[in-house]
Amino acid sequence: MSTIYDCTDQDERRRGLEAAQSAVKGGRLVVIPTDTVYGIGCDAFDNDAVAALLRAKHRGPDMPVPVLVGSWDTVDGLVQTVTPRMRELVQAFWPGGLSFVVTQAPSLPWDLGDTNGSVMLRMPLQPVAIELLRATGPMAVSSANISGQPPATSAIAAKQMLGSEVSVYLDDGEATIGEPSTIIDLTSPTPHLLREGAISAERISEVIGTSPATLRQR
């Protein structure tokens, strides 16, 4: 049975976070608020839970699941190398609406889909999400919707699509940004945008000294 917790109420927020933490540790799925859109998530290192997440979204491993973290330092154990460019972007835009695709640390015991040795990482600017992530550790989190449908910007919209596939829904009101994160690929020497969303190419170029046109080149 699924339960929605109103995180705008302090007592219910506490109960909801406890229930969500228990669900994640128990290999179940949760829906959480982020600054961009609502996300469906699970323990990033629980491969059965990640497979259940993909089934809930009606999509396959060809669309791997991103990972959300609750602190800057967490990424050090997840990536092969934290480059100066990545560090600059983390300091400029995390927590916030920028996701990085980077080469993952070797031999991590997770199966996020067909990643070809990479991982997409983000730290959301959302206090409920951050509190949960700091309690659970890295979570595999994708937009809370059936594949092909618009991402949910509220817990109610997420529940209408995902229903009982999810154990716990944390409702903290409408997502503040309401559009997906920007994704930048840092797996090669020349960074490029895979998706322009919450953070513009212009803002990124100001930080790393690459023109917006170069970032947008494929």
DSSP secondary structure, 108-158, as one string: -S---SS-TTEEEEE--S-HHHHHHHHHH-SEEEEESS-TTSPPPSSHHHH
Whole domain around residue 71: which residue ranges? Answer: 3-216
Residue 18 pairs in a beta bridge with none
pLDDT of 182 reads 97
pLDDT of residue 37: 97
- Confidence at residue 103, expressed as pLDDT on a 0 to 100 scale: 97
Q: What is the DSSP pairing of strand 30-32 with strand 118-122? A: unpaired
pLDDT at res. 1? 80
- Measured over all CA atoms, what is the biggest interatomic distance in the chain, rounded to whole angstroms? 50
Residues paired with residue 170 on neighbouring β-strands, in sequence order: 5
> End-to-end CA distance of the chain, in Å?
45
Q: What total number of domains does the chain contain?
A: 1
Q: What are the pLDDT tens digits along the chain (218 aa)?
A: 899 999 999 999 999 999 999 999 999 999 999 999 999 999 999 999 999 999 999 999 999 999 999 999 999 999 999 999 999 999 999 999 999 999 999 989 999 999 999 999 999 999 999 999 999 999 999 999 999 999 999 999 999 999 999 999 999 999 999 999 999 999 999 999 999 999 999 999 999 999 999 999 87
Spatial contact of 48 and 112, defined as CB atoms under 8 Å apart: no
Q: What is the pLDDT of residue 217?
A: 86
Note the pLDDT of residue 108: 92
Report the CATH number at residue 79: 3.90.870.10
